[in-house]
Amino acid sequence: MGDKIDGKAIALGVKENIKNFIETRKLNGMNIPKVASILVGNDGGSLFYLNNQEKVAVSLGLEFEKIHLSDNVTEDNLIKKIEELNNDNSVNGIILQLPLPKNMDEKKIISSISPEKDIDCLTFVNQGKLYMGEETFMPCTPKSVLTILKSLNINLEGMEVVVVGRSNIVGKPAAALMLKENCTVTICHSRTKNLKEVCKRADILIVAIGKAKFIDESYIKDDAIVIDVGTNSVEGKITGDVDFEKVINKAAFVTPVPGGVGALTTTLLMKNVCEALEKYEN
């Protein structure tokens, strides 16, 4: 029987560090971090995420500016707003809720965000740095994966990592972060042959494919570490890509859903704001 990894407990530790960072700055009369989050339209999921960002930011002591624009805002006006935030020295991080309305050029708009304030690592500049192994903001979901692994106090160097999923948001950046830790990394996807056999090689299996309970114990090597990044709605409940009840009996560690990777993401996004303030303040 393996151990369940408590993402909420790990998040609490990160939150305490952020609170201490902000309290110290206040006591020394220094600026405190401020984040601006932009939502275009009224997508329910994005609106929920925006409100959750505000709740977490305020609870930690950050300043939060919520910018909710109608879905008929023009590209030029959206870019103008982003450029205003770029030039506002009180704003340290900019979050753009995705997806944008289909009539907008998402890549063009993302590219208008200053790389110094791109705390979600969306711009080509910061993504390029990530894949070159240079210092940059880590995208929050892959950063959650790495934070969880490091909380286990194991030596990641030389471990065989299999990432199931090749999205630009999770799979590819997660693979890049694991390479930086000197792991041996394989990326699998919908066209991978013999997927089960590849997964069974993994010391660490990172799953982000969007298929509820797709991974069962037959995909797992004995005493592997399994990180479930999936969030699927099944009969009104959030379910991961891993069948937790079956896998926990074979793996050494497994993240639950909810309460695993997702419990850390927004907190780590706020940590990126703090790092941006420290790095780029005058």
Binding residues: 165-167, 231
Contacts of 231 (CB under 8 A, 6+ apart): 238, 239, 240, 257, 258, 262
CB environment 224-235: b (16+ within 10 A), e (fewer): bbbbbbbbbeee
Exposed, middle or buried: residue 137 (CB in 10 Å: 0-12, 13-18, 19+)? buried
H helix or E strand, kind and range, residue 204:
strand 204-207
Phi-psi region of 277 (alpha: psi -120 to 50; beta: other; left: phi over 0): alpha
Q: Can you say which residues are annotated as belonging to the binding site for NADP(+)?
A: 165-167, 231
**34-40 and 63-69 strand pairing:** parallel
Beta pairing partners, 186: 162
